[in-house]
Structure 1
């Protein structure tokens, strides 16, 4: 192993501990004891439990994926197109079954939205994004093509396990790659279920085995081994800053999605009824688990009362100050920092919980189908500055657009992820877009419009904000190669 590619073991351990505790889950003893190391001694290209593509250890998975990559390459573009067709078809056909399975495993979000996220996988782009660039002149012709890396290792979130892996497969295989997933432990069974089904269909259609692989029990060892595996040429990571840091220390190209805390500005120049309806639509989707979901709203004083009334009219439930205080105590705890200060720590048990569950923590009962809670707060409230991933929306009154943009910038923390504005004033839109400099900026729509759902564009569940690639496409997972013919082939 090249020393320059070695990963800081302390960093990796801290990353894995952070990931497995994210939703209050701990790794099993099987994933951390010495038997896991023994499994690496003699990897074999045999899937665990006879499920295609499901492996007990990273070296076996990487070896199998590399063999599949070679077969995919031999199959040409037609093989890639067939794989994409299989993935999209199965996501549609299995949306109900897989949505229920993932909902039962993770116990977060809303079942109808789990299903919907699978049904829209068909919107993820494929090989059509890989059109080569050609140019000719007096000295011949040059062709630039987008070519595969080989084997990609991808880290999956618990929040969207099967949708994310399905979208990644389409993008990565369209680019000509094979992929090995290291899912969040809380969504590993869902990932294995989908991957085994995909592989069986791919083998039946193309004779290619293990094009998509996963680690059955993801652990510290599997994460570390994937980063170091010689077959792996590229990493795709969805996670917090420490996970991203570990990937970027691998010495390999890393496409990294970082955190987000998307703010919304409502300036009253547009229809507040429409704004309220679309904000509820985005913030309530899958109980606000989407990284692009509306997390806090800054509304001008001049239209605040009308906007708040519109939220209630469209089904959201307001909390008074006492109810908000009770919910805040349940949703956050204060952890002391150095110097005598403290910061809010999220109660992971409430992440992705239904609005009705949050309401009970606030001391009230609401109908089970209530989509969203909201409450007026100041800009320094934990619900504003923490990426809380709950169907609870803080509303902050501001005196003017400048104050609203400044508050939004502070709440977004410079993540440069996503932001939304509801306005008909082009100057206001421009000012906010320039100030926040986010990867996604949605005007007059729900957050989901930024991914082609209600707006123009395409879908991906991996948004590379940290490393700058943005909403991933097949081209994200390619190398650009140039072929030059000197003084010939120009036909004019």
Structure 2
């Protein structure tokens, strides 16, 4: 096709700024019109354009060879067929217009939009095929493209673009959707890629051009240089491997950037492989011929000073092997597919181990797989970081090691590298003629570039609640005398009992042991009776060894919260000995969803009700000294036996622990993680405990009345514990734990001084709300009003917080316990000195809480002061 014919194209412009402005204006108009096309119309446009390009594949191949004087006709026809037919097949069915996906589970709807006007830069090595490819993926994504062709391939590239453009117009594409600079120059290309109306640069070509594209300050999809090794391992089918390398290296006279630049042969099969190469017509150069090739290709002999500044001779790119030999000063048969050149190492001192874009193939020998992989790594790192690498091998461990150690984003297994890298023929890689190299090759993408890279994906995200299942043990026994169930449960014949001296001295352990030994089957019992109150990883590591040697079928925890937490961890490590104690306790490892063996049975005594039913366990942090929770359903026991007779609290203990239950109920009910299940448990438990506490106040020590009301308190508190185990600790819990850690004692004793002010805080107007997908709106005042209604406290909704706080203060005033933190013999000076740290610790704990009103640092400090001095917190 003549230049005169090409000048009839719709974009005949002089290559100056005015012309570029006009091209971009046309493209912007096309972009606007593209918005009106639906997916079906776009697909017809692509199908029509691809078919017309496919029909012209031979004509375009001949023009490319004639104009560029590189490559060969037969292989360029294959490239054109790939760029039209294979690319179109890959694009078929892809959604690129409007809503392209709708995930009902995640609630994500994806909407595709064009990126905008694309500047397409094309190389001299694959001119027509790259033009067809880029035009098709732009049409598929409704992006107008303006081409800047390589000046040595202007006419054939323009013809390819014209064929695609005219076919697209016939099928309904807008005018100006495919354009090109008719008078190529560096100035014109620079104007194009820097034009503010150009959104994206799609660059395929030399390093300088790609680097220039990346420096324009806009998204650029470029490629990196290739220096692909092909490692043939001794386990490979040598005939197959040699055949693949020969096909790949000789294809279009070696101009595909993913073609092999060196073949690395294991010593055990090297001679066999070389003989096989020669049987396919490849020529093995001698030392003299090697030197001549070095001079021709790089102007530098191996080991010479010139190697440092050597550059590839462009005149040999894409030439036949026989012609290159002739240019170098020796001869090979006319039909020689490739010239093999033995080299001693991979380095710039061996210039033929660099990218050559011709049918010249370096040959290296490796003593073993380790050296073969290392030589491959060196090849890629020398000139082709991130591009491609090939391995021929039948051992998966070697292939995996190769893929891990060689920094190429395309690792081609048992295939011709040139065809394997471009995808769609030998493997499932995305078919493409623009191959990204990732950050290794200073590219923005590490995949084979295609339509997906030319789309802006808008995502519509549905609000999703966090899926929080209601998690409880399989069996819960709650009531006086229920400990007898231990005599009937399936426990196996090897049992580990974990407890502490407090449970042992109180007689609670004796009750459990008597029931175990009364069983009909013969059992063996291991007793670990030194569970520490604030145990750390060192304790667990020691006890893990003890329990592992015993291998129990059942673990029974008898005691308070710390005992139950220790048992949860020890049961986990007994079931999963491969887990690291330190990493599990730090929360760094995903744990199994459930553990069936050994089974865990929790028998909480003085405390531990919440710990026994919660899908979590706590351990003391070595650095802070505070308890760190680790959440997982793996910590849920199979069975919990809450026997109220094992907790013979005094009247004072009953009041204190009952009031803690009141606090936990309020926090569970108002939690951002609450559900219908937890609300029911929290409210019912709260009613029972609150009413029972008023009776406990007047009950005499060791009276039946106290025993009856104590049982109601314990049972109600256990319901509350189940609710809180499925929600989260709140601000009151955070404050009491912080105070207990700083000034000693259990956290229960601080609740009377803290809870009323926390309720006032919840009932006030929030200064800062909490972000939680399950919490639709701030409703704490309404919830506090509901609590007042349940407890018989008269209050309007707007005053519910104050009314409930006052009722709580009235209740605890009858307990005979300190009502302010100052009364726990904590000096004012000591308190004020620690106040900033106390506030910080509480704030840190609050990150795990479900408090619906976010407490600021200033609010926490003010609340701590109010609780210390016994004053009302002002919200």
For Structure 1 versus Structure 2, the TM-score category normalised by the shorter chain is: 0.7 to 0.9
Q: Secondary structure at the match of 2:337?
A: coil
Q: Residue 385 of structure 1 is aligned with which of 350, 353, 362?
A: 353
Which TM-score applies when normalising by structure 1?
A: 0.83
Higher strand content, 1 or 2: 1
* Counterpart residue number, 2:800: none
User: Which one of the candidate residues 41, 50, 58 is aligned to 1:79?
Assistant: 41
Counterpart CA distance in 2 for 1:401 and 1:343 is 32
Q: What SS does structure 1 have at the residue aligned with 2:364?
A: strand
Listed one character per residue, the Cα deviations across residues 319-341 of structure 1 (whole Å, up to 9, x for unaligned) are 11111111221221149xxx997
Alpha-carbon distance change, 184 to 128 in structure 1, aligned in 2, over 3 angstroms: same
- State the match for 2:54 in structure 1: 92
Out of 417, 439, 455, the position equivalent to 2:387 is: 417
Provide the rounded CA distance (Å) in 1 between the counterparts of 2:165 and 2:205.
26
Q: In 2, are the aligned partners of 1:52 and 1:200 still within 8 Å (CA)?
A: no
Alignment partner of 1:333 is 2:293 = no
User: Is 2:182 aligned against 1:216?
Assistant: yes
- 8 A Cα contact 2:149 2:157, kept in partner: yes
Q: Give distance in 1, aligned partners of 2:392 and 2:238.
A: 8
Deviations 1:350-384 (A, max 9, x none): 11110111222344333322211112111235454
**Do residues 476 (structure 1) and 453 (structure 2) align?**
yes
Provide the TM-score with structure 2 as the length reference.
0.48
Cα shift at 1:73: 2.1
Equivalenced residues, count: 436
Larger RCO of the pair (alpha carbons < 8 Å, separation 6+): 1
For the 8 Å contact 2:241–2:414, the answer to whether it is kept is: yes
Q: CA distance change for structure 1 residues 118 and 352 in 2, over 3 Å: closer, same or farther?
A: same
1:450-478 deviation line (CA, Å, top 9, x unaligned)? 32223334421011212224101211111
8 A Cα contact 2:43 2:92, kept in partner: yes
Q: How many angstroms apart in 1 are the aligned matches of 2:135 and 2:182?
A: 18
Give the 5 Å matches for 1:241-260. 241-260=207-226
Question: Which consecutive residues of structure 2, in runs of 5 or more, have no partner in the other structure?
Answer: 438-442, 465-875
**Partner of residue 278, structure 1:** 244
Whole-angstrom CA distance in 2 between matches of 1:118 and 1:374: 28
Asked which structure has the greater CA Rg, the reply is 2
Q: Secondary structure at the match of 1:134?
A: strand
**Corresponding residue to 1:123 among 65, 86, 103:** 86
Check conservation: 1:72, 1:79, Cα contact below 8 A. no
Which residue in 2 is equivalent to 1:456? 428
Task: Report SS of the residue matched to 1:181.
Answer: strand
Structure 1: distance between partners of 2:109 and 2:332:
62
Could you tell me which of 349, 361, 364 is aligned with 1:396?
364
C-alpha displacement at 1:439, in angstroms? 1.8
Other-structure match for 1:444: 414
- The match for 2:283 among 309, 317, 333 is 317
8 A Cα contact 2:325 2:331, kept in partner: yes
DSSP-derived class of the 1:269 partner: coil
Single out whichever of 377-386 and 316-325 deviates more from structure 2.
Answer: 377-386
For the residues of structure 2 that align with 1:358 and 1:280, how far apart are their CA atoms? 17
8 Å Cα contact 2:232/2:265 also seen in 1: yes
Moved more, 266-275 or 84-93: 84-93
Higher mean alpha-carbon deviation, 103-112 vs 231-240, is at: 231-240
The residue aligned with 1:433 is: 403
Find the counterpart in structure 2 of residue 104 from structure 1: 66
> CA, structure 1 residues 69+294, in 2 after alignment: closer, same or farther (shift >3 Å)?
same
Q: Name the counterpart of 2:157.
A: 191
Is there any run of 5+ residues in structure 1 with no aligned partner, and where? 1-46, 488-492
Distance 2:167 2:35 in 1: 18
- Cα-to-partner distance string for 1:164-201 (whole Å, 9 max, x where unaligned): 11111221221121111111111111111122222222
Q: How far apart are residue 91 of structure 1 and its match?
A: 2.1
Equivalent residues in 2 for 1:368-383 (5 A)? 368-379=334-345, 380=347, 382-383=350-351
> Compared with structure 1, are the counterparts of its residues 90 and 393 closer, same or farther at alpha carbon in structure 2 (3 Å cutoff)?
same
Aligned residues: CA RMSD: 2.3
In 2, are the aligned partners of 1:54 and 1:213 still within 8 Å (CA)? Answer: no
